[in-house]
Chain A
Amino acid sequence: MYRLLNIELHKLKHSRSSKILIITYFVLLTSIALVAAIKFDIGPIQFHLAEMGIFNFPYVWHFNSYISALFKLFLAIVIVSMMSNEYSNKTLKQNLIDGLSKKEFILSKFYTVVLLSLASTIFLFIVSLILGLIFSSYTELSIIFSDLEYLIAFFIKLVGFFSFCLFLGILVKRSAFALGFLFVWQFVEGIIFGVLRWNTNPDIASTIMQFFPLNAMSNLIKEPFTRLSAVQSVANQIGEKFNFDYAIHWYEIAIVVGWTALFIFLSYLLLKKRDL
């Protein structure tokens, strides 16, 4: 496993564009901290976002993993191009001739995906922990380390999404088209949802939609904004009451893990069936 990871990291390490994108991604992850600096001070209206409780433990885990997941597109570009460039440079062929098996080739890519996701998760954990320790109102250990399942969901979500990118890279063989396909797919899921909602009812529609890959991934971490006490108190004042289910359910994780396995298996199958 170390050998396969080492091979793939060697390819990434010497590619300038991949390096820039990966660094940008981690810088952006850090930039969540900048939210803390959002502060309005207009006469009587004083507004300091960090003081509104967004960095309170354990809410900070939910909020930060939701926001951080938005930046995954940067790594997606790296992953799609690390796959499709192997086709356009014909280095895939050379790798196989040099003695890498097709299985090892896919595994080396998959390990890299897992490593990048793991690195993001650890990074997110550290950034959130620091932000929380600075701004949170509660700093008891038991509270700090509750709701950590959001980080697990974040990790699963990234692995699933990147595996999808990997699969698209192999399927389409060109990075620009593969990324285009990703957007089109997002769009297609949106349309299917719309059609289902129109023909049945919202409940049935979302029950079916939870099985679609991108929807399953976004279901993992629900939007955190309505959970914020400040938002809820405003809602209460205008007579609304939010009653959403923010928890992460085992079946949601199972669906995404299922898709991940399927994407990797399909990538292997495609590679095996194709003549180079």
Chain B
Amino acid sequence: MDSILTISNLTKKFGYLTAVNDLSFTINKGNVYGILGPNGSGKSTTLGIVLNVVNKTSGDFKWFDGNTTTHDALKKVGAIIERPNFYPYMTAEQNLKLVCKIKGVNESKIEEKLEIVGLLERKDSKFSTYSLGMKQRLAIASALLNDPEILILDEPTNGLDPQGIHQIREIIKKIASEGTTILLASHLLDEVEKVCSHVVVLRKGVNLYSGRVDEMISSHGFFELKCNDMEALVKVLENLPYFGNIKVTEQLVTAFLNEPLKSETLNTLLFEKGIVLTHLVQRKESLEEQFLTLTNNQ
């Protein structure tokens, strides 16, 4: 598989604070990646380093095969960092023309990309008159101008209203479906869960997990059970080989699986032991629960 970005042992220190700590991961062509982490976990700093606006303290990163300089590589990359930054006194079209000149691409794509983000009618309005949602969509159009090999989005839905968030997500899904590699930094878990196939989880600049989203939820799930005789139920469960941790609250028994087990098998087993369930739910941990476990335990 072609690698697009390889980060190895990257570290960034701001004085005593270590924003990114010995971070390594690789981004391959064709996947949608999420960088997940609470605020201040080093997501934006990492992106800033690979995008040539923040200086690294140590470590290394390379774009594509490693033979292109960073600023040449960036011409094949589309990126939006935190807030859309354009010249307020220029119209949308003038701003995009400038980006074309910087990236060295033809200006013929401008209308097409404005169409994708739904701003074609407003192309002659000054950037300063745009709403935040429109600014963010213009930023996406600008990032798409060179038909990038990878699109980097840093918190693209931050500060938008529900309609705005929905519009941006639809655009991202559409771009992803066309085969563009996407790297999405976010602290919004459902955003990453909905859009990404791979995820890198950061906390305080440390890489906690990197790999596929579905493999991150590696456990076999858990059962939520209720019956009239809770004590008997717990006793039986503890004697079965399938379960690890069993949590008991007043109304509910939560039993975590060590190996796969179907709900009908469990139900039959318990019925044979004389326990009649009043409540049986089998669940997998959501990304959110997994994420909280990951970021809290370490």
- Closest A-B pairs by Cβ, 3 of them: A101-B71, A99-B75, A99-B74
Contacts A89-B88, A93-B85: A275 and B48 contacting too (C-beta < 8 A)?
yes
Which residues of chain A come closer than 8 Å to B103, judged between CB atoms?
A: 98-99
Contacts A3-B101, A7-B101: A97 and B52 contacting too (C-beta < 8 A)?
yes
Q: How many residues of B contact A (CB 8 A)?
A: 32
Digitize A1-45: 1 where CB-to-B-CB distance is under 8 Å, 0 elsewhere: 001001100110011100000000000000000000000000000
Is there a chain B Cβ closer than 8 Å to A172's Cβ?
Answer: no
Is there a chain A Cβ closer than 8 Å to B97's Cβ?
Answer: yes
Which residues of chain A come closer than 8 Å to B97, judged between CB atoms?
A: 10
How distant is B14 from chain A, measured CB to nearest CB, in Å? 8
B52 contacts A98, C-beta separation under 8 Å: no
Is there a chain B Cβ closer than 8 Å to A130's Cβ?
Answer: no
Is there a chain B Cβ closer than 8 Å to A233's Cβ?
Answer: no
Which residues of chain A come closer than 8 Å to B81, judged between CB atoms?
A: 93-94, 97
A231 to B55, CA, bound (A): 60
Is there a chain B Cβ closer than 8 Å to A91's Cβ?
Answer: yes
How distant is B80 from chain A, measured CB to nearest CB, in Å? 8
Which residues of chain A come closer than 8 Å to B14, judged between CB atoms?
A: 275
Is there a chain B Cβ closer than 8 Å to A95's Cβ?
Answer: yes
Contacts A97-B74, A276-B48: A89 and B85 contacting too (C-beta < 8 A)?
yes
Is there a chain A Cβ closer than 8 Å to B99's Cβ?
Answer: yes
B86 contacts A91, C-beta separation under 8 Å: yes
Task: Please report the number of residue pairs spanning A and B whose Cβ atoms sit closer than 8 angstroms.
Answer: 78
Taking chain A's interface residues, is the majority helix, strand, or loop, or is none over half, making it mixed?
helix
A3 to B97, CA, bound (A): 13
Is there a chain B Cβ closer than 8 Å to A104's Cβ?
Answer: yes
B71 contacts A99, C-beta separation under 8 Å: yes
How distant is A89 from chain B, measured CB to nearest CB, in Å? 6
Which residues of chain B come closer than 8 Å to A152, judged between CB atoms?
A: none
Q: How many residues of A contact B (CB 8 A)?
A: 26
Which residues of chain A come closer than 8 Å to B85, judged between CB atoms?
A: 89-91, 93-94
- A93-B85, A275-B53 known; 17 other A-B pairs, CB under 8 Å? A14-B90, A89-B88, A90-B85, A91-B86, A94-B86, A96-B53, A96-B74, A97-B81, A99-B71, A99-B74, A99-B102, A101-B52, A272-B55, A273-B55, A275-B14, A275-B48, A276-B54
B53 contacts A93, C-beta separation under 8 Å: yes
B75 contacts A11, C-beta separation under 8 Å: no
A94 to B138, CA, bound (A): 13
A11 contacts B51, C-beta separation under 8 Å: no
A97 to B73, CA, bound (A): 10
B54 contacts A275, C-beta separation under 8 Å: yes
How distant is B232 from chain A, measured CB to nearest CB, in Å? 63
A91 to B142, CA, bound (A): 13
How distant is B105 from chain A, measured CB to nearest CB, in Å? 10
Is there a chain A Cβ closer than 8 Å to B104's Cβ?
Answer: yes
